[in-house]
Amino acid sequence: MKFIDEVTLYATSGHGGAGCVAFRHEKFIEFGGPSGGDGGKGGDVIFEATSGLSTLLELRHRPHQKAENGHNGMGKNRHGAGGKDLLIKVPVGTVVKDVETDDILADLTENGQIVILLKGGRGGQGNARFASATNKAPKFAQPGEENEERKLRLELKLMADVGLLGLPNAGKSSLISKVSAARPKIADYPFTTMVPSLGVVPYKNYRSFVMADIPGIIEGANEGAGLGHRFLKHLERSGILLHLVDISWMPERDPRAEYESINNELALFSPELAAKKQIVVITKTDLPQTRAELPAIQAWFEGEGVTVFPISSATGEGIDQLLDEIAGRLWGPPEEVW
């Protein structure tokens, strides 16, 4: 299924039905009178978050969404039926914004969460409602209330406990495939990961957490360079960021400069995202070049006050220690986790 995380919708609630002007003319009834019924209420536009969806693809092909209008009132005091509500199901993590004002109208973060975004118009009252001692035969009724229209932008932000961050080919896809059942594409060329993916990572005592992998970030990503800028928003809900650093390219590339460059991209995209806690992971320790350069890189990070976790997704080296660190930051010390 194609991954679509942004769509624009033109949503319209239902117009209220008009009240009816009618009078009783029935055999054996001595006195007639006003008998116009009320119009029905227009349908609402309702959004519901569901864990059964993972993309906004279906809505992309149906940009115009309209609830049913209320039915008009009828004679003999018969009220018009209310219009059917329009229920739009979206993935958990969907943010609904008003395109004109950029205001957030709803943030659907829980499975089953329901929000009424556009209310249908109220039905108009029939002339039977307006009969009085001084006006026994009113010849007027109310029209139905107008509906609401809005241009909406839907943005899907993945709900993950841990987000993976790093340059292309830093080892993010290899790690998530090692610790979870997620199977992203893995190859030795830039932008192997084209769309975000989620993996559930099992841990001790039957606990688990959700990890998100996004396309690699490069310099200028906040301005649209590469692929990562479109997907940085998927890291905003993560409680912890794993910053993966590949030092196997040394001395051709400087991993310390790349580490700082990515953090700069985060700050330019969102100060809140840049302020999230990070765990720095040195990947590919099974490679001789990585093992040769590791002591110097560890010393540099320690000088910056950063503890690093060397791992190899190929051999599993260091994976258990990394998962312990993640669990401790998510749930507390080991004695509280186990």
Same domain? 175 vs 126 = no
Using alpha carbons, list the distances in angstroms from residue 2 to 47, 196, 197, 215, 245: 22, 11, 12, 15, 29
Residue with tokens 């390219």: 249
Task: Supply the CATH number for residue 274's domain.
Answer: 3.40.50.300
224 domain-assigned: yes
Same domain? 144 vs 183 = no
One pLDDT digit (tens) per residue for the chain, 338 residues: 466 788 999 999 999 999 999 998 777 666 678 999 999 999 999 999 998 888 888 898 899 999 999 999 999 999 999 999 999 999 999 999 999 999 999 999 999 999 999 999 999 999 999 999 889 889 999 999 999 999 999 998 888 899 998 888 888 888 998 998 866 555 554 545 556 778 889 998 778 999 988 876 755 544 554 445 667 888 888 889 999 999 998 888 898 998 998 898 888 888 888 888 899 999 999 999 999 999 999 999 999 899 999 999 999 999 999 999 999 999 887 555 44
CB 9 within 8 A of CB 59: yes
Same domain? 152 vs 171 = no
What integer pLDDT is reported at residue 157 of this predicted model?
86
Range of the domain at 173: 162-337
Same domain? 171 vs 197 = yes
Same domain? 195 vs 288 = yes
Task: Supply the CATH number for residue 84's domain.
Answer: 2.70.210.12
What integer pLDDT is reported at residue 49 of this predicted model?
95
Provide the 10 A C-beta neighbour count for residue 326: 22
Among candidate residues 287, 329, 330, the one with its CA nearest the CA of residue 310: 287
Helices (H), 206-308: 255-269, 271-274, 288-303
Same domain? 37 vs 142 = yes
Query: Which residue among 126, 156, 186 closes a domain?
Result: 156
Query: Which residue among 156, 183, 199 closes a domain?
Result: 156
CB 36 within 8 A of CB 141: yes
What integer pLDDT is reported at residue 331 of this predicted model?
87
1 domain-assigned: no
Domain count of the chain?
2
User: Tens digit of pLDDT for each residue in 238-294?
Assistant: 889 999 999 998 888 898 998 998 898 888 888 888 888 899 999 999 999 999 999
pTM: 0.75
Same domain? 34 vs 128 = yes
Same domain? 137 vs 189 = no
Query: Which residue among 103, 121, 156 closes a domain?
Result: 156
Same domain? 178 vs 150 = no
Same domain? 174 vs 95 = no
**How many whole angstroms separate alpha carbon 14 and alpha carbon 272?**
39
CB 95 within 8 A of CB 158: no
127 domain-assigned: yes
**How many whole angstroms separate alpha carbon 336 and alpha carbon 329?**
11
What integer pLDDT is reported at residue 219 of this predicted model?
55
**How many whole angstroms separate alpha carbon 205 and alpha carbon 331?**
12
What integer pLDDT is reported at residue 226 of this predicted model?
47
109 domain-assigned: yes
What integer pLDDT is reported at residue 184 of this predicted model?
56
257 domain-assigned: yes
